[in-house]
Amino acid sequence: MLLAIDSSTGTSVAVVDLAGGILAEQAIDDTMSHAEVVGALLGDTLREAGVVPADLSAVACGMGPGPFTGLRIGIAAARAFAFGAGKPVVPLVSHDAVAFAWYSAGNEGDLLVETDARRKELYWSAYAGLSAAGLPVRVGGPGLARPEDVPESTGTRLEAAAVSAGALGMLAELTWAAGNDFAADEPLYLRSPDVSISSRKRVTS
Amino acid sequence: MNGVDRAAPLVLGIETSCDETGIGIVRGRSLLSNTIASSMDEHARYGGVVPEVAARAHLEALVPALTAAVAEAGITLDELDAIAVTSGPGLSGALMVGVGAAKALSVALDKPIYAVNHLVGHVGADILDESGTPFEYPTIALLVSGGHTSLLLVRDLVSDVELLGETIDDAAGEAFDKVARLLGLPYPGGPEIDRLAAVGNQTAIRFPRGLTHPKDMAKHRYDFSFSGLKTSVARWVEKQQDLGNEVPVADVAASFREAVADVLLTKAIAACADHGVPRLLLGGGVVANARVRELAAERAAAAGVALRIPPLSLCTDNGAMIAELGAQLIMAGHAPSTLDFPADSTLPVTEIQVH
Ligand SMILES: [Zn+2]
């Protein structure tokens, strides 16, 4: 049984189980309130699932790509929760959850997942169906590009407004069951920090 | 609040308002761990704290710091009575890392959470100073760092803190960084200026003391301004360069430092006199400045004001002061915060706890 958290778009929290599926899932789509809502979402979702932290095997965490301020809050929450509960974090690429949900709904073929990166740019990942283990096969990305520079896709372009922690958690369960590797345990910001390096300007001309 | 030890609560505090990831653990008035991971080195090449760089560093430092703090304190997480966290003021993206983590930890451990004010935390740090009996209230508190320059009247730590004045532009620590940069010194500027000033003449150049003219004192009696001082230093240095003179950097550093220390202490001692409060508490990283400490001791003694300066590790931003403020709130019987509080970059000092 896993707790899953993703804040690469809005804030989504779920409790999932390989056999039982998604036991509870709650999300707030607002992309500006992650820090406010993440605590109550965690508490409420666990309560709804009737699960206590000791019941969990791990905490699944969407590592993005996503706008950094919000993305970081979900990762901070996942890591702190896992620390408190004495469980490992299993990191995943957030787009993989979108692809997993899409293929699991019976869709087939190539898929290009896009999410809003703000500043007139998109995060994108390309997929070519499910593996034998039922895991989405990512063939490109995750990347960051202006809309006109996102790679052409012969398949479906899916602009996702939200990433489901339920899908993320189920993907983590299947990845675990298949013995596959998880993603790297680092946030996929895909952008360097904005820095304004002040020059040593004269104040008198 | 069942099972919470009201007499000596065991509290873990999380502080991420600027560039220090602070995890502190206290039991009542006793300090068990004050673990700090700083991203200062990552900001050096920019000459100041870069908010996004700080926020990224908090996320990476968080769990290692938590692990180290719990190990140092020799406690287990289930023994904790509560979690405390800085809700503000500070850098918004940085604050959010601590707030998100603290809420998740609170849920994972099923422990109450206290969202507290960073500035009031600086005042609370004094309680953890084992070098003497903590101040009784009321006290005047002068908090000076790279992020704030505030003068407070603290009548009661958990229920009555008044903001007397604050900087209307740069924080004093920021002014040190900016002047250091224009003198070609590395970041952070405070220690560099302090080092140079030790061999300079502090009366060589009379730099302006911001907001001390009678016309300013009417409206800004306890407020500070350092951007004019910084500009004045820049003008003076540029003039020397234009004249082909070598810039006497030690004298500039000493004279600048004197101007900052003078205005800080003049206003702080005035606040003590005006409010009939014979106690002054210093906090914030600028307390590391030798001249600020020296002048504080001189002026306080002359005015009959008792002075307290906690050790530097409790003056710079840290999680122990946040844990202690949480502990004080519990000891005073205050209810925990809900899980819905925000990270508030401009949280006023009168909001000691955010519900
Ligand atoms: Zn501070």
**What does the alpha-carbon distance between residue B252 and residue B41 come to, in Å, rounded to a whole number?**
25
Task: State residue B50's pLDDT score.
Answer: 92
**Residue A77 with chain B: CB contacts under 8 Å:** 100-101, 103-104
Can you give the CATH number for the domain in which B118 is found? 3.30.420.40
The verdict on B150 and B293 lying in the same domain is: yes
Q: Is the pLDDT of residue B162 over 80?
A: yes
Shared domain for B23 and B122, answered yes or no, is: yes
Q: Which residue has the tokens 């896709």?
A: A153
Give the mean model confidence (pLDDT) for residues B52-76.
97
Same domain, B143 and B216: yes
Structure confidence at residue B129 (pLDDT): 87
Q: What is the pTM of this model?
A: 0.96
| Banded model confidence at residue B5, pLDDT cuts 50, 70, 90 | confident
SS3 state of residue B165 = strand
Q: What band does B46 get if pLDDT is binned at 50, 70 and 90? A: confident
Interface residue A180 vs chain B (CB under 8 A): no
d(CA A57, CA A1): 6
Average pLDDT, chain B: 95
Closest chain A CA to residue B236: A204
Task: Please indicate, yes or no, whether residues B263 and B325 belong to a single structural domain of this protein.
Answer: no
Domain range for B279: 139-309
Query: Are B266 and B180 found together in one domain?
Result: yes
B91 and B179 share one domain: no
As a whole number, mean pLDDT of residues B197-222 equals: 93
Residues of chain B positioned with their CB less than 8 A from the CB of A80 = 62-63, 66, 100-102, 104-105, 108
Residues B305 and B320 in one domain: no
Same domain, B329 and B230: no
What was the pLDDT predicted at B48? 85
For ligand 1, the distance from its centroid to the CA atom of residue A27, given in whole angstroms, is 34
pLDDT tens, position by position, A33-55: 999 999 999 999 999 999 999 99
Co-location of B186 and B217 in the same domain:
yes
Among chain B residues, CA nearest to A185: B60
Query: Is residue B4 situated within a structural domain?
Result: no
Say yes or no to pLDDT of B319 above 70.
yes
Please state the rounded mean pLDDT for residues B60-74.
Answer: 98
Residue B1 has pLDDT above 60, yes or no: no
Q: Is B144 annotated as a binding residue?
A: yes
The DSSP 8-state label assigned to residue B155 in this structure reads: E
Q: Report helix, strand or coil for B245.
A: coil
Judge whether B50 is closer than 8 Å to chain A, CB to CB: yes
Instruction: Indicate the residue of A69, A78, A193 with minimum beta-carbon distance to B50.
Output: A193
pLDDT at A203 over 70: no
Surface-to-core class of residue B282, CB atoms within 10 Å of its CB (0-12 exposed, 13-18 middle, 19+ buried): buried
**Is the residue at B23 inside a domain?**
yes
- List of residues 6+ apart from A192 with CB closer than 8 A: none
How many Cβ atoms are within 10 Å of B210's Cβ, its own excluded?
A: 25
Residue A31 reports pLDDT greater than 80: yes
Phi, psi (rounded to 5 degrees) for B131: -80, -5
Q: Nearest 10 degrees: CA dihedral of B145, B148, B154, B157?
A: -80
User: In this model, does residue A132 exceed pLDDT 70?
Assistant: yes
Distance, in Å, from the CA atom of A39 to the CA atom of B99, rounded to the nearest integer, reads: 9
Strand order in the sheet with A2-6: A21-28, A11-17, A2-6, A58-62, A89-92
Our CA-based measurement puts residue A51 at a distance from the nearest CA of chain B, in whole angstroms, of 11
Cβ-Cβ contacts under 8 Å for B215 (sequence gap 6 or more): none
**A84/B239 CB distance under 8 A:** no
Ligand 1 centroid to residue B144 C-alpha, Å: 8
- How do B30-38 and B353-354 pair as beta strands? unpaired
Q: Is residue B76 part of a domain?
A: yes
Helix H or strand E encompassing B32 = strand B30-38
Residues B259 and B112 in one domain: no
Q: What percent of chain B has pLDDT over 70?
A: 99
What structural domains and CATH numbers belong to chain A? Answer: 2-178 (3.30.420.40)
pLDDT of residue B2: 56
Q: What are phi and psi of A177, to 5 degrees?
A: -60, -35
Q: Write the pLDDT tens digit of every residue in B237-273.
A: 999 999 999 999 999 999 999 999 999 999 999 999 9
pLDDT at A154: 85
Query: A197 — contact with chain B (CB < 8 Å)?
Result: yes
pLDDT band at B134 (very low <50, low <70, confident <90, very high): confident
Contact B89, B346 (CB under 8 A): yes
pLDDT the model gives residue A200: 52
Go through A117-152 and write b for each residue having 16 or more CB atoms within 10 A of its CB, e for each that does not: beeebbbbbbbeebeeeebbebeebbbbbeeeebee
- Number of compact structural domains in chain B: 2
What ipTM, to 2 d.p.? 0.96
